[in-house]
Amino acid sequence: MSFFPEVVILNDWAFITGGSTAVAVASALGLARRGVRVTLFTCVGPIDPALSNIPNLEVHCLGQQEIAKDTNRLRAFASGLRNGAAVRALRAILSRKDPARTIVHVHTWMKALSPFVLDVAIQLGFPLVVTLHDFFITCPTGGFFDHGAQDLCERTPLSRSCVTCNCDRRNYGHKLWRVGRTLLQNVFLKVPRNTSYFVGVSNFSLNVMRPFLPQNVPVAMVRNPVDCVNLGPAAVRENRAFVYLGRFEIEKGVLLFAEAVRATNLPAVFIGDGALAPEVRHLCPTARFTGWLKPEQIRQELSQARSLVFPPTWYETLGLVTVEATAAGVPPLISNRCAATDFIKDGENGLHFEHKSVESLAQKMQRLANDPDLAPRLGRNAYHWYWNDPWTADQHVAELMKLYQDCLSNRGTGARHSARESPVRV
């Protein structure tokens, strides 16, 4: 049969706040341009101007706040568990669509939409596709990271050791609330079991989650689209600066990089901002701080970089900035226990340093700075690795279309579930 599905995309935000929302927006635009009718359903505005007046694309934004920014904490507490307004609005939209030819694809839901919104699609019999941009489908705090110990967490989600661990970035009370939300999602609503397809963004992150995902629900790897322009490889041989790009938070490793910069006295550029900015500035008084930049400005900074340093102290699920660096011909220097190790190979198109080790990071930075041939060789390899098979939006959408077709053509068999399996009506 001819395949012209409708797609309803669920995402907390209607504007780009980070990599996951950028993927949601890019897929909505790409699908619409291929003639697929797309509905983008969101909570938090404003609506990105790029989504306006696009044929085949309808955007719904409820104009709500994300729960972390709601000053009415009691309302945020309740809405984070069950966003009643979003439940009712999505039910009204889906009631006008045909489950036999409509996919519901979820990107982010924990910051505003809530798990009950996913259950609306399940209850109404729509195939549910969930992209795993983070670890919230398994881990209550979404990161497999112990903020108390400031290190990776290898506990089994929702186990006794998980529930009793004070690992939340805020406090133990907030951790218990998140445990309750995950119990609602995974045990009461059975969202993971009733999902039709999980979409991973890296094999690394899939392998972290796989032991805790339902074994009979299929999983596919779909590369994220990357907004890159082929400007040729950067002149890495002449470049001196080591660049960090991201939030200034513990789990992102910004302090690790700052300490390595202080130890080596090498030139550094910090792109981004966050709570640790004062401490980072104190550690690196001679570094350059740009704040958040537009994509074209980031490309300009990368063109002047010796290396992009990616030092997360948690796993990450992808590390998209490292892909952007390879497209610019800049070798990434990454932690050896993060998702970017899927495609940044030590000594081939970048370098690895020992997880959380300032000494190891500083040593690798010195090596890149002092060896006149190493960084250029790695940069050339990185450039060719990316542009031999670029991560384009067209390729991303083509892979999604194949996955959607598989969902619809195999409904009711194997791992696909019916609405009857979910015990709750919302």
Q: Does the residue 188 lie in any domain?
A: yes
3-class secondary structure, 324: helix
- Residue 274 banded pLDDT, cuts 50, 70, 90: very high
| Dihedral of the alpha carbons of 413, 419, 422, 425, in degrees to the nearest 10 | 180
Tell me the Ramachandran region of residue 356: left when phi exceeds 0, alpha when psi lies from -120 to 50, beta otherwise.
left
User: What percent of the chain has a predicted confidence (pLDDT) above 90?
Assistant: 93
Please provide residue 244's backbone torsions phi and psi, each rounded to the nearest 5 degrees.
Answer: -115, 140
- What pLDDT, on a 0 to 100 scale, did the predictor assign at position 409? 85
The answer to whether residue 418 scores a pLDDT higher than 90 is no
User: What is the spatial distance between Cα 380 and Cα 387, in angstroms, rounded to a whole number?
Assistant: 11
- What pLDDT, on a 0 to 100 scale, did the predictor assign at position 3? 55
The answer to whether residue 425 scores a pLDDT higher than 50 is no
| DSSP secondary structure string for all residues of 153-196 | --SPTTSHHHHT----SS-HHHHHHHHHHHHIIIIIS-HHHH-S
Contact at 8 Å (CB) between 147 and 167?
Answer: yes
Q: Tens digit of pLDDT for each residue in 361-387?
A: 999 999 999 999 999 999 999 999 999
CATH of the domain at 250: 3.40.50.2000
- What pLDDT, on a 0 to 100 scale, did the predictor assign at position 420? 33
- Residue 424 banded pLDDT, cuts 50, 70, 90: very low
User: What is the spatial distance between Cα 199 and Cα 130, in angstroms, rounded to a whole number?
Assistant: 6
What pTM did the predictor assign? 0.93
Q: Does the residue 234 lie in any domain?
A: no
User: What is the spatial distance between Cα 305 and Cα 294, in angstroms, rounded to a whole number?
Assistant: 17
The one-character DSSP state at 225 is P
Indicate the range of 98-102, 111-115, 415-419 predicted with least confidence.
Answer: 415-419
User: Are 184 and 253 in a shared domain?
Assistant: no
- What pLDDT, on a 0 to 100 scale, did the predictor assign at position 18? 85
User: Are 285 and 364 in a shared domain?
Assistant: yes
User: Are 211 and 69 in a shared domain?
Assistant: yes
Q: Tens digit of pLDDT for each residue in 124-162?
A: 999 999 999 999 999 999 999 999 999 999 999 999 999
User: Are 102 and 194 in a shared domain?
Assistant: yes
Torsion 32-67-18-315 (CA) sign: negative
- What pLDDT, on a 0 to 100 scale, did the predictor assign at position 313? 98
Residue of 229, 257, 226 whose CA lies nearest to 322 = 226
Q: Tens digit of pLDDT for each residue in 22-60?
A: 999 999 999 999 999 999 999 999 999 999 999 999 999
Q: What is the 3-state secondary structure (H, E, C) of 122-133?
A: HHCCCCEEEECC
3-class secondary structure, 208: helix
Q: Quick one: tokens of 415?
A: 């791992």
Residue of 300, 319, 318 whose CA lies nearest to 309 = 319
The answer to whether residue 416 scores a pLDDT higher than 50 is no
Contact at 8 Å (CB) between 149 and 123?
Answer: no
- What pLDDT, on a 0 to 100 scale, did the predictor assign at position 410? 78
The one-character DSSP state at 224 is P
The answer to whether residue 423 scores a pLDDT higher than 60 is no
Q: Tens digit of pLDDT for each residue in 386-411?
A: 999 999 999 999 999 999 999 988 77
User: Are 196 and 248 in a shared domain?
Assistant: no
User: Are 33 and 80 in a shared domain?
Assistant: yes
- What pLDDT, on a 0 to 100 scale, did the predictor assign at position 417? 41
The answer to whether residue 106 scores a pLDDT higher than 90 is yes
User: Are 246 and 318 in a shared domain?
Assistant: yes
- What pLDDT, on a 0 to 100 scale, did the predictor assign at position 388? 97
User: What is the spatial distance between Cα 228 and Cα 25, in angstroms, rounded to a whole number?
Assistant: 16
User: Are 198 and 293 in a shared domain?
Assistant: no
User: Are 310 and 221 in a shared domain?
Assistant: no
Tell me the Ramachandran region of residue 139: left when phi exceeds 0, alpha when psi lies from -120 to 50, beta otherwise.
beta
- Residue 314 banded pLDDT, cuts 50, 70, 90: very high
- What pLDDT, on a 0 to 100 scale, did the predictor assign at position 426? 35
Mean pLDDT calculated for residue range 196-222 = 96
- What pLDDT, on a 0 to 100 scale, did the predictor assign at position 46? 97
Mean pLDDT calculated for residue range 294-316 = 97
Q: Does the residue 230 lie in any domain?
A: no
User: Are 215 and 264 in a shared domain?
Assistant: no
Q: Does the residue 319 lie in any domain?
A: yes
Residue of 411, 402, 416, 420 whose CA lies nearest to 3 = 402
Task: Give the domain range for residue 302.
Answer: 241-387
Q: Quick one: tokens of 28?
A: 């909505």
- Residue 4 banded pLDDT, cuts 50, 70, 90: low
Q: Tens digit of pLDDT for each residue in 63-103?
A: 999 999 999 999 999 999 999 999 999 999 999 999 999 99
Q: Does the residue 402 lie in any domain?
A: yes
User: What is the spatial distance between Cα 77 and Cα 178, in angstroms, rounded to a whole number?
Assistant: 10
Domain count across the chain: 2
Residue of 278, 186, 284 whose CA lies nearest to 243 = 284
Q: Does the residue 299 lie in any domain?
A: yes
Residue of 72, 79, 45, 70 whose CA lies nearest to 59 = 45
Q: Does the residue 426 lie in any domain?
A: no
Q: Tell me the average pLDDT of the chain.
A: 94
User: Are 261 and 357 in a shared domain?
Assistant: yes
Mean pLDDT calculated for residue range 273-292 = 97
Q: Does the residue 231 lie in any domain?
A: no
Q: Tens digit of pLDDT for each residue in 222-256?
A: 999 998 999 999 999 999 999 999 999 999 999 99
User: Are 73 and 187 in a shared domain?
Assistant: yes
> Where are any strands of DSSP class E within 207-297?
219-221, 241-245, 268-271, 288-291
